[in-house]
């Protein structure tokens, strides 16, 4: 089954404790992206990647890191999480730039 | 700069009514794509439609229809004879070729269909 898989689905942690949210897709897609969803703000792009070793900042990259060492994986790293990063996070992938995105089920992060 | 505006934050309709969700976009580029996504209460994001900037033909899919007008930079979404299952948050999005096809989402419209 074609899918984008994010882990964990839920996480409660404390300020400053490094965490990684994994994202994996099995569709051989070139493009992958991370978004955060906050009430009233819609989805905002954090980082995106056009291919392996090719990443770029989206609209809200501060406090986040990503890497794309393999085509299927695109982890989101919070080196020193802060409460303002409490949000619902979505990973997405697409075959080419103008194709629809396939989204993971989301990861709800709470930073205390 | 690219921007998508969904001015309607929340809409409530009674079942069987028609409802139109507005989407206005901004871009200076001539090559772009517009999308609608649905986010039901369960939280997943479901793709509904894609339209490219060179195709202004309206589209109908069952009870759903989309009206793309370049003259007003709008890509509106109409649900005919709404049903309770249509209750969701709907997002309009723009992808622009010359910014590496980044996606720009609107803030979403929350639709509640009352039985």
B101 and chain A in contact, CB less than 8 A: yes
Contact state of B107 with A40 under an 8 Å Cβ cutoff? yes
Is residue B100's pLDDT more than 80? no
Average pLDDT score, chain B: 93
Average the pLDDT over each of A60-64, B10-14, B93-97 and give the range with the smallest value: B93-97
Residues of chain A short of pLDDT 70, as ranges, are none
Q: In chain A, what is the straight-line distance between the N-terminal and C-terminal CA atoms, in Å?
A: 36
Of residues B35, B48, B34, the one with CA closest to residue B79: B48
Q: Helix, strand or coil for residue B6?
A: coil
- SS3 string, B44-83, reads CCEEEEEEECCCCCCEEECCEEEEEEHHHCEEEEEECCCC
pLDDT at B1: 83
Contact state of A58 with B43 under an 8 Å Cβ cutoff? no
- Residue range B44-91, pLDDT digits in tens: 999 999 998 988 888 888 999 999 999 999 999 999 999 999 999 999
pLDDT at A43: 94
pLDDT at B36: 97
pLDDT at B115: 95
Q: Which residues of A touch B44 (CB under 8 A)?
A: 103, 105-106
pLDDT at A61: 96
d(CA B50, CA B33): 7
Q: Which residues of B touch A40 (CB under 8 A)?
A: 9, 107
pLDDT at B70: 92
- A35 Cα to chain B: minimum distance (Å): 10
Which candidate from A33, A102, A106 shows the least CB-CB separation from B103?
A: A33
Which candidate from A31, A90, A97 shows the least CB-CB separation from B45?
A: A90
Chain B residue with minimum CA distance to A94: B101
Q: Is the peptide bond before A48 cis (omega within 30 degrees of 0)?
A: no
pLDDT-derived band at B103 (thresholds 50, 70, 90) equals confident
pLDDT at B107: 95
Chain A residue with minimum CA distance to B2: A59
**B111 in Cβ contact with B88 (< 8 Å):** yes
Handedness of CA B24, B26, B28, B33 (dihedral sign): negative
Please tell me which residue, B58 or B111, carries the higher pLDDT value.
B111
Interacting residues of A1 by C-beta distance below 8 A, sequence separation 6+: none
Q: Which residues of A touch B107 (CB under 8 A)?
A: 40-42
């Amino acid at each position: 089954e074609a899918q984008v898989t994010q882990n964990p689905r839920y996480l409660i942690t404390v300020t400053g404790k490094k965490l990684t949210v994994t994202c994996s897709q099995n569709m051989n897609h070139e493009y992958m992206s991370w978004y955060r969803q906050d009430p009233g703000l819609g989805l905002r792009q954090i980082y995106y990647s056009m291919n392996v070793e090719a990443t770029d900042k989206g609209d809200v990259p501060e406090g986040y890191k990503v890497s794309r060492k393999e085509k299927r994986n695109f982890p989101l790293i919070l080196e020193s999480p802060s409460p303002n990063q409490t949000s619902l996070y979505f990973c997405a992938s697409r075959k080419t730039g103008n194709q629809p995105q396939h989204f993971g089920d989301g990861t709800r992060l709470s930073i205390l | 700069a690219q921007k998508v505006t969904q001015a309607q934050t929340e809409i409530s309709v009674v079942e069987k009514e028609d409802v139109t969700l507005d989407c206005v976009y901004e871009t200076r580029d001539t090559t772009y794509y517009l999308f609608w996504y649905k986010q039901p209460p369960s939280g997943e994001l479901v793709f509904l439609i894609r339209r490219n900037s060179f195709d202004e033909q309206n589209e109908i899919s069952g009870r759903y229809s989309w009206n793309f007008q370049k003259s007003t930079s709008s890509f509106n979404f109409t649900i005919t004879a709404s049903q309770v299952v249509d209750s969701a948050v709907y997002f309009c999005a723009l992808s622009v070729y010359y910014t590496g096809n980044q996606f720009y989402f609107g803030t979403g419209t929350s639709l509640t269909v009352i039985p």
